[in-house]
C-alpha cells in the first residue's frame, strides 16, 4: 500500500510497504519497508491519504523497527541455512527454526493488518500460538540443562569446612586464658 505522510519539516514522502516472503533455495527471501522521496515514486500514482501528525513518533519508531528487522534478515540470509545449521547443536537448530517461523508469521500478521484484515480471526493466530508452545518447550529443556545438580560429596565438604570446630589444642588454650584473667 502507498501512504503519503508529512514529516516534522513539512516535506512530503511516500511510504511503500511491501512484505514478501517466499522460499528460495532453502532460504527465505524477504523485502520489508522501502522509503522513497516524492520524486522517486513511480509516475502517475497520486494518493491523498494523510495521517494525523500526532502519530508521527509512532510511525518513526515503526520505520526504525522495520529497518532493524530488514538488517537482521539480510544478515541471516547472507549465510545458507545448511551452513548455519551445521555449526549448531540440535537445540540451537530448533531455536533458529522457531525464531525464523515466528518472525515470518509475525511479519505476515503485520501485512494482514496493513491490508485491513483482522489477523486475530485469521489462521496465522493459531500458527503463532503453536510456535509459542514449541518455544516454551525449548525453553523448558534449556532451563533443565542450566539447573544446578547437587553434588552430595562437594556439599558435605562445603558444610563441614564452613562449620567451625575447636581443635583440642585451641580448646585448652581458650580454657587457660579464661582462668588466668579471673
Q: What is the pLDDT of residue 139?
A: 94
Q: Could you say which residues of the chain have pLDDT below 70? A: 1-49, 166, 169-182
Residue 56 lies inside a defined structural domain of this protein: yes
116 and 64 assigned to the same domain: no
Domain count of the fold of the chain: 2
95 and 127 assigned to the same domain: yes
The predicted-structure confidence for 105-118, as pLDDT tens digits, reads as follows: 999 999 999 999 99
Q: What is the pLDDT of residue 51?
A: 75
| Of the residues 51, 79, 107, the one at which a domain ends | 79
52 and 99 assigned to the same domain: no
Residue 174 lies inside a defined structural domain of this protein: no
Domain hosting 118: range is: 88-164
Question: How far from the centroid of its chain's Cα atoms is residue 92's Cα?
Answer: 14
Question: How many Cα neighbours within 13 Å face the side chain of 147?
Answer: 9
Phi then psi dihedrals of residue 18, to 5 deg? -130, 120
Q: For residue 48, give the 3-state DSSP assignment.
A: coil
| Of the residues 34, 51, 79, the one at which a domain ends | 79
112 and 39 assigned to the same domain: no
Q: What is the pLDDT of residue 178?
A: 55
CA distance 87 to 73: 19
Of 76, 73, 4, 3, residue with least CA distance to 32: 73
CA distance 26 to 107: 19
Residue 7 lies inside a defined structural domain of this protein: yes
Residue 123 lies inside a defined structural domain of this protein: yes
122 and 52 assigned to the same domain: no
Residue 59: other Cβ atoms inside 10 A: 14
Q: What is the pLDDT of residue 27?
A: 42
Grid coordinates given for 116: 485491513
pTM of the model: 0.52
Q: What is the pLDDT of residue 109?
A: 94
Longest dimension (CA), the chain: 108
The predicted-structure confidence for 21-53, as pLDDT tens digits, reads as follows: 444 444 444 443 333 333 333 333 443 357 788
Residue 27 lies inside a defined structural domain of this protein: yes
4 and 63 assigned to the same domain: yes
Q: What is the pLDDT of residue 26?
A: 41
Of 53, 49, 54, residue with least CA distance to 4: 49
Amino acid at each position: 500500500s502507498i501512504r503519503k505522510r508529512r514529516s516534522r519539516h513539512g516535506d512530503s514522502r511516500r511510504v511503500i510497504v511491501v512484505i514478501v516472503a517466499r522460499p528460495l533455495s532453502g532460504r527465505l527471501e524477504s523485502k520489508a519497508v522501502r522509503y522513497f522521496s516524492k520524486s522517486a515514486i513511480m509516475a502517475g500514482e497520486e494518493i491523498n491519504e494523510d495521517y494525523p501528525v500526532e502519530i508521527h513518533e509512532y510511525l518513526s519508531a515503526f520505520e526504525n523497527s522495520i529497518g532493524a528487522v530488514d538488517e537482521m534478515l539480510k544478515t541471516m540470509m547472507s549465510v545458507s541455512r545448511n551452513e548455519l545449521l551445521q555449526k549448531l547443536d540440535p537445540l540451537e537448530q530448533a531455536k533458529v527454526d522457531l525464531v525464523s517461523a515466528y518472525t515470518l508469521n509475525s511479519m505476515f500478521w503485520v501485512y494482514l493488518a496493513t491490508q485491513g484484515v483482522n489477523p486475530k480471526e485469521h489462521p496465522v493466530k493459531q500458527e503463532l500460538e503453536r510456535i509459542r508452545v514449541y518455544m516454551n518447550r525449548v525453553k523448558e529443556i534449556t532451563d533443565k540443562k542450566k539447573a544446578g545438580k547437587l553434588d552430595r560429596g562437594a556439599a558435605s565438604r562445603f558444610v563441614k569446612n564452613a562449620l567451625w570446630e575447636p581443635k583440642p589444642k585451641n580448646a585448652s588454650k581458650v580454657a587457660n586464658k579464661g582462668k588466668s584473667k579471673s
